[in-house]
Amino acid sequence: MVFARVRRFFKPSPPRQQEPELPANLAEIYRQARNGHVLEQVLWGKVLLDSQYVPRDVDKAREWFTIAASANYGPAHNMLGRCSQFGWGCPLDLAEAVSHYRKAAQLDDLWGIYNLGICHMRGMGVETDRRTAFLLFRRAALRGHAKSMNLLARFIEEGWETPANPIAALEWYQRSADGGDYRGQHNYATALLGMGQPNEALRYWRMAVKDATPDILQAMQRELEQPDAPQDPELMETLQHRLRAVLPKTD
């Protein structure tokens, strides 16, 4: 197996750009990327997508992902899938996104497996196929991918493509939560509250509130505003602050 940091020489040339002034850790990533290390090429592409140290440049980011993908590096194909899914540096093309996610999954990249599962579950760029989605989420979950664990738990809880099993679903929600997925943390907290464990539920909601997206923040708010919900003024203050920051302002 070729390790990610093995130096390779490819036909594609690194995109030309002015040498940026960077913190030491980012400067090292950039240096390694220029020297042909596929891991750092993907990392530098991600920096170009979202960093306070360099201007956002989706075109150059996609060039770096393409260079690493030419070495059959799974995470690079996953990021090219993201580019095609969201139109970063290329036209939005869900079928092309699925093609890259499938290649990433073939190369055993866990994020590629997960994203391909999402596409099959939602019918994005491919026909809806819950069976395939279930198998992909299970494959990644068994390898320790926290977000896949949360969706595997949902399939097991609802009895989608597998017999419903609340106990097994709860175990997977806990593994997802402990693995750091905010959706898993919210789902596990909700289950804990229903099981009469409010203090444990609050502990997991405190974890989730830091990174949760607006939909999960609003779901947390609904749970915590129930008359019988446990009280945690500090958590509610943090939740309200995050909601004000991420939701559109209305007059």
Q: What is the pTM of this model?
A: 0.89
User: Does residue 189 contact residue 201 with C-beta atoms inside 8 Å?
Assistant: yes
Residue 10 pLDDT > 70, yes or no? Answer: no
The pLDDT score that the predictor gives to residue 103 is 98
> How far apart are alpha carbons 25 and 7 in whole angstroms?
19
The pLDDT score that the predictor gives to residue 202 is 98
Residue 13 pLDDT > 80, yes or no? Answer: no
Q: Over the chain, what is the mean pLDDT?
A: 93
pLDDT in tens, 110-128: 999 999 999 999 999 999 9
**Number of C-beta neighbours around residue 135 at 10 A:** 16
User: Does residue 132 contact residue 119 with C-beta atoms inside 8 Å?
Assistant: no
At 58, is the pLDDT very low, low, confident or very high (cuts 50, 70, 90)? very high
Phi, psi at residue 88, to the nearest 5°?
-90, 105
The pLDDT score that the predictor gives to residue 52 is 93
Nearest-Å Rg of the Cα atoms of the chain is 21
Residue 17 pLDDT > 80, yes or no? Answer: no
The pLDDT score that the predictor gives to residue 7 is 43
Which residues, at least 6 apart from 48, have a Cβ–Cβ distance to it below 8 Å?
A: 54, 56, 57, 58, 60, 61, 64
Whole-number percent of the chain with pLDDT over 70: 91
For the chain, what are the domain ranges?
28-108
The pLDDT score that the predictor gives to residue 21 is 82
The pLDDT score that the predictor gives to residue 159 is 98
The pLDDT score that the predictor gives to residue 235 is 97
Whole-number percent of the chain with pLDDT over 90: 89
SS3 for 209?
A: coil
At 15, is the pLDDT very low, low, confident or very high (cuts 50, 70, 90)? low
Residue 6 pLDDT > 60, yes or no? Answer: no
pLDDT in tens, 160-183: 999 999 999 999 999 999 999 999
- Ramachandran quadrant class, 249 (left: phi over 0; alpha: psi -120 to 50; beta: rest): beta
The pLDDT score that the predictor gives to residue 19 is 60
SS3 for 149?
A: helix
Mean pLDDT of 10-20: 59
168-189: b or e for each residue (b if 16 or more CB lie within 10 Å)?
Answer: ebbebbbbbbebebbbbbbbbb
The pLDDT score that the predictor gives to residue 154 is 98
Q: List the structure tokens of 39.
A: 């891991």
Domain 28-108 has CATH 1.25.40.10: yes
